[in-house]
Structure 1
Amino acid sequence: MGDSNGVTKRSGPTANDDALNHTQQQEKDAAKATEALRKSFRQKYRHVEAIHSQSKPSCLSHDTTESPSFLGFRNLMVIMLVVGNLRLVIENIQKYGVLICIRCHDFRRNDVQLGLFLYFLIPCHFIIAYLIELVAAQQARASRKRIEKRDGTASPTADESLKFQATWQLIWVAHAINITTALAFTTYVVYYHIHHPLIGTLTEMHAIIVWLKTASYAFTNRDLRHAYLHPVQGELDALPLIYQQRPYPTNITIDNLVYFWWAPTLVYQPVYPRNASIRWIFVFKRLGEVVCLSVFIWFASAQYATPVLRNSLDKIASLDYPSILERLLKLSTISLVIWLAGFFALFQSFLNALAEVTRFADRSFYDEWWNSESLGTYWRTWNKPVYQFFRRHVYSPMRSRGWSHRAASATVFLLSAVLHELFVGIPTHNLIGVAFLGMFLQLPLIQLTAPLERMRSPHGRLLGNIIFWVSFTILGQPFAALMYFYAWQAKYGSVSRLVGAGAGTCPAV
């Protein structure tokens, strides 16, 4: 088809396009020829290759643009850790022989009987807490009926609100007497009448767990009761949606309380996320891990930790500080291994087995605490059941009432320090305050490492993680173990006689 001047348009490539393509092809051919020529020259003139053609920093320098991977160093450290500990195993057996003796225990009949008695007595205070809440629920139902009979409102009057507060004061006092009596009685019996520290530790831990659970049961039902009496103000709608499956006061039942008693949590809820079925193979695997790790902890404690502790007694008595430091460094390795095994046995194996049996679906018992960039991160992630209890029932209520972050945090660590001292000092019959100070003095260390956690630089986070591990593995657990073992031997035996006897059977490590 022609245009208005009768000139026909070309639909294909023009002559200029052909020339451009030809030129580009010639340039490509020339580049290939040049590269082939250079390659042949490089093969011929090997000694003139430009090794240093651009500026580059060393890969470990701070000004490097790409951070190197340390995977190989990690593998090396794992290999050296295994080799080093194998050497210690061989050295330990050569010096001491096999120290494991199944019959050489100190489980007295009285200790076992009292331990079993307290194990069945402590949950009775749960029943008392249930009866207290049952009375409170009945009163709440009666108050709700009176409120609903009034015209124009479905919430309490000012006088009824004051009455609610007065009633809560009575309920709170009843709960406080109940749980304090349980903990105080158990603490007294363990401290004065149960000699073996293992039985005492298990019994005291059970009492502390029931104490925390009962406190959560009381505080949670108090808020649920208050929301139940204020439906028009929208407080019921502000409750978590999961609570609608069992609204207050239908949750005040004995089966609900028994489930909370066995559930692997310290925080009470009327309803928990539940799995549909129980995987019994999973349960048996986790229980098998608990048994194996418990045997390993017993073996490591008797074969490796005890000789180191015994050979430290004379150093502490003579205040030989260099030798004490050497003992701490040697004890740090085995104490860390025992602690890691105990952590896995409790938080990964036992709690998961218990959660599976109770069909408890939320298995977040810990987070990646080993990557903690500060001590504050560690305390928030390694033992989440305890952290969740204190945050929900101590820290958050104090903050909502106008307390500062530091004051609320100090209160949390103060209460936690008291419980730590009870947990360690009562079964060992030595309230020397080391566990208390070790916990409470975490506050300045947290303040010290908090800026490192907020740093965007990986170097700051690395430094924070190093500080955490050093304070945890050297200055923390080994020192506490050394002090309580020394206090135990000083109280229940002659330290000098034990050291003298140990010199004949347990030479210095």
Structure 2
Amino acid sequence: MTTTTATSTSVDNLQATRRHTKDNEGSSEPTPETAQRATHELRRALQKKYRHVAAVHSQSQPSKLSQDSTVAPSFLGFRNLMIIVIVVGNLRLMIENIQKYGVLICIRCHDFSRQDVILGLILYFLIPCHLFAAYLIELAAAQQASGLRKRTKDGTASPTEDQNKRFNATWKVVAWLHAANITLALAITTLVVYFRIYHPLIGTLTELHAVIVWLKTSSYAFTNRDLRHAYLHPVKGELDAMPEIYKQCPYPNNITMGNLVYFWWAPTLVYQPAYPRTDKIRWVFVAKRVGEVFGLSVVIWFASEQYAAPVLRNSLDKIASLDIPNILERLMKLSTISLVIWLAGFFALFQSFLNALAEVTRFGDRSFYDDWWNSESLGAYWRTWNKPVYQYFKRHVYMPMVGRGWKPSHASIAVFFLSAVLHEVLVGVPTHNIIGVAFLGMFLQLPLINLTAPLEKMQSPTGRMLGNCIFWVSFTILGQPFAALMYFYAWQAKYGSVSKRMAGNPVA
């Protein structure tokens, strides 16, 4: 009662103050700011007096998760929840797995034969020799180009017809030498891995190294070919239109051993005469990234040996008998652990290892990936999750083909065909089973990309959400787990197990 009386008194006083102010001002109207402030104070006083009449619903507004919402809500809490659910769920499965099979991790146990280790080390040091061979080829071409440039009035005029014919003849020789070199770079390693290296891990690492050097060598050849052409055929304004960063090391000053060695170690597949560089090396940053690589590698090893391997082995009889329901159950069980392994591998490679390598080499552009997890179509995923490979194929395959008159769709088919071949080489050759699953898994992305492309272009949140869901389903269930099952089954059907294949070879 006392509170109500006090509130009523304050309201009366406020109203009296407003009347007094108006009387003092005479006929003049109060300013809008004064009136608004007075109204606000009166409203607060009334809310204290009439506590049950507050307007809770004063404006129209949609639900936070509704499509009509104009402000996108933050899903940080849901992200934390999903991480907790994934970690707890997989830990439960691993504990159940340990209770059922016991501890399967054995640090001293391995199936690396002495032959595999020796051949892997030999190839590790021989594969980069193809980059050195490409350097020797370009060095000879650069010397020939420098001599021709001097004979054409220091580059103030284009070469004569005879000089141009000699240059084209030399150019063809250079192209054939590069083609032979990059072909041998991949062919020799592939043959040795397929016929002589039997452990899948050593074979995969060796083959991956060969593919990286193969891509780098071809990029080195393609880029210097165009730089040499611009150097020998100076059109007014053409050299000035080259990328600004190239002026730091113009052709042929870039044809040096130091320039090649930097490109060899730089975390990119695309060759440039110069790259953006940082000022110094942060060794603490490098140590953190190396620690992440080590820790995530242990996680991948533990998850693979303790959980994924038993699931794969228990799936063999289901595949042999074509028990479709149980095969689908195995796929869904394998999908969770394969996703964890893949995400750990992605972070270890693209976030930790490449950033550590970039820091040591002072490589400035560290955009190795974009937010691929928000991909609204499969096409967006392939453009964003592995930018070094995407940038390579766009620069050296897609754009040159489109520039020569190819339709963009045909150029895309060529890109995915080449990528599918490389996927089969990276998976089928080390497992000694070229069964085409990796090839088809990559090449058949094209119709799925065309299917989800309209969803990416839709302005409504529903279309983008549907496209993202299709991406995740195809990625987590229909993609990696199915390929893992097929190649594991093919390996077991051919060899029985790694240890069985190694029975005749002494273990190091």
TM range (shorter): 0.7 to 0.9
After TM superposition, give the deviation of residue 399 of structure 1 in Å: 1.1
CA–CA distance in 2 between the matches of 1:412 and 1:28? 67
**In the aligned structure 2, how far is the partner of 1:261 from the partner of 1:291?**
23
In structure 1, the residue matched to 2:365 is: 362
Deviations 1:160-194 (A, max 9, x none): 44443332222111111111012111100000100
Shift of 1:146: 1.6
Shift in Å at residue 87 of structure 1? 1.6
1:382-397 to 2 correspondence within 5 Å? 382-397=385-400
Partners in 2 of 1:279 and 1:27 — Cα distance? Answer: 57
Instruction: Please tell me whether the aligned partners of residues 278 and 364 of structure 2 are also in contact (alpha carbons under 8 angstroms).
Output: yes
Aligned residues with identical type, % of pairs:
74
Question: Aligned partner of 2:144: which letter?
Answer: Q
Which residue, out of 107, 128, 134, partners 1:123? 128
What is the aligned partner in structure 2 of residue 442 from structure 1? 445
For residue 27 of structure 2, give the secondary structure of its aligned residue in structure 1.
helix
For 2:338 and 2:443, locate their aligned partners in 1 and report how far apart those are by CA, in whole Å.
Answer: 21
Matched residue SS, 2:362: coil
Q: Give, as a single letter, the amino acid of the residue that structure 2 aligns with 1:95.
A: K
Instruction: Answer yes or no: is the 8 Å Cα contact 2:67–2:461 preserved in 1.
Output: no
Q: TM-score, normalised by structure 1?
A: 0.87
- Counterpart of 1:329 (choices 327, 332, 344) is 332
Matched AA of 1:284: A
Give the C-alpha shift of residue 355 in structure 1: 1.3
Given the alignment of the two structures, is residue 19 of structure 1 paired with residue 27 of structure 2, yes or no?
A: yes
Deviations 1:333-352 (A, max 9, x none): 11011111111111111111
**Other structure's SS at 1:365 match:** coil
- Residue 482 of structure 1 and its aligned partner are, at CA, apart by 0.7
Q: Is the 8 A contact 1:155 1:233 kept in 2?
A: no
Which segment drifts farther, 273-282 or 305-314? 273-282
Q: Does 1:487 align with 2:490?
A: yes
Query: Does structure 1 conserve the Cα–Cα contact (< 8 Å) formed by 2:94 and 2:306?
Result: no
What is the distance in 2 between the residues matched to 1:245 and 1:52? Answer: 64
Which residue, 204, 221, 236 being the options, matches 1:218? 221
Query: Displacement of 1:73 after TM fit?
Result: 3.9
C-alpha distance in 2, partners of 1:27/1:129? 78
CA pair 52-93 structure 1, distance change in 2 beyond 3 A: same
How far has the Cα of 1:63 moved from its partner? 4.7
In structure 1, distance between residues paired with 2:30 and 2:442: 81
The 5 Å alignment of 1:19-168 reads: 19-21=27-29, 40=49, 42-43=50-51, 60-63=65-68, 70-148=75-153, 154-168=157-171
Q: What runs of 5+ residues in structure 2 fail to find an aligned partner?
A: 1-21, 502-508
Q: Distance in 1 between matches of 2:169 and 2:318?
A: 59
The Cα of 1:31 is off from its aligned counterpart by 10
Q: What is the one-letter code of the residue matched to 2:473? A: V
- Give me the whole-angstrom Cα distance separating, in 2, the residues matched to 1:421 and 1:30: 75
Unaligned runs of 5+ in 1: 1-13, 499-509
Distance 1:391 1:18, change over 3 A: same
Moved more, 456-465 or 332-341: 456-465
- Tell me which of 150, 169, 179 is aligned to 1:176: 179
In the alignment of these two chains, the number of paired residues is 478
CA contact (8 A) 1:136 1:171 kept: yes
> Aligned partners of 1:461 and 1:391: how far apart in 2?
25
Whole-Å separation in 2 of the counterparts to 1:181 and 1:213? 14
Matched, 1:381 2:384: yes
**In the superposition, relative to structure 1, how do residues 359 and 312 fare at CA in structure 2: closer, same or farther (>3 Å)?**
same
The residue type paired with residue 142 of structure 1 is G
User: What are the residue-to-residue correspondences of 1:418-429 with 2, within 5 Å?
Assistant: 418-429=421-432
Q: Quick one: which of 313, 324, 333 aligns to 1:310?
A: 313
Shift of 1:89: 2.2
Q: Secondary structure at the match of 1:105?
A: coil
Decide whether the 8 Å contact of 2:491 with 2:497 is kept in 1: no
Q: Which digits, 9 at most, give the CA deviation of each residue in 1:226-258, with x for residues without a partner?
A: 111122433221211211221111111112111
Q: Compute the displacement of 1:315 (Å).
A: 0.4
> What is the rounded CA distance, in whole Å, between the counterparts of 1:160 and 1:458 in structure 2?
61
TM-score computed with the length of structure 2 as normaliser = 0.87
Distance apart, 1:141 and its partner CA = 1.1
String of CA shifts for 1:77-119, please: whole Å, max 9, x gaps: 3333233223212211111111001222110000000001111
Change (3 A) 1:278 1:313: same
What is the Cα deviation at residue 329 of structure 1? 0.4
CA distance in 1, matches of 2:334, 2:186: 32
- Is the aligned partner of 1:206 residue 2:214? no
CA distance in 2, matches of 1:268, 1:148: 30
Q: Aligned partners of 1:29 and 1:432: how far apart in 2?
A: 81
Q: Is the 8 A contact 1:335 1:477 kept in 2?
A: yes
SS in 2 for 1:248: coil
Tell me by how many angstroms 1:278 deviates.
1.7
Q: Work out the CA distance in 2 between the residues paired with 1:328 and 1:106.
A: 27
Q: Which residue of 1 aligns with 2:239?
A: 236
| Stretch of structure 1 that moved more, 280-289 or 156-165 | 156-165
Q: Distance in 2 between matches of 1:166 and 1:198?
A: 44
CA distance in 1, matches of 2:305, 2:37: 78
Distance in 2 (CA, whole Å) between partners of 1:125 and 1:343 is 28
Question: Residue 504 of structure 2 aligns with which residue?
Answer: none
Q: Is the 8 A contact 1:230 1:236 kept in 2?
A: no
The Cα shift of 1:423 comes to 0.5
- Is contact 2:335-2:477 (8 Å) kept? yes
Asked whether the equivalents of residues 197 and 427 of structure 1 are also in contact (C-alpha less than 8 Å), the reply is yes
1:359 shift after superposition: 1.5
Q: Which amino acid aligns with 2:100?
A: K
Aligned-partner SS, 1:361:
coil
Q: Secondary structure at the match of 1:444?
A: helix
1:258-337 equivalences under 5 Å are: 258-337=261-340
> CA offsets, 1:299-318, max 9 Å, x none?
11000100000000000000
Q: Tell me the equivalent position of 2:252.
A: 249
C-alpha distance in 1 between matches for 2:358 and 2:40: 70
Contact 2:398 2:411 in 1 (8 A): yes
CA-CA distance at 1:476 after TM superposition: 0.6
CA contact (8 A) 1:286 1:353 kept: yes
Per mean C-alpha deviation after superposition, the further-off stretch among 53-62 and 27-36 is 27-36
Supply the distance in 1 between the matched residues of 2:111 and 2:209 (Cα, whole angstroms): 21
Distance in 2, Cα, partners of 1:448 & 1:27? 57
- Structure 2 match to 1:5: none
**In 2: Cα distance, 1:492 partner to 1:360 partner:** 44
One-letter amino acid matched to 1:330? K
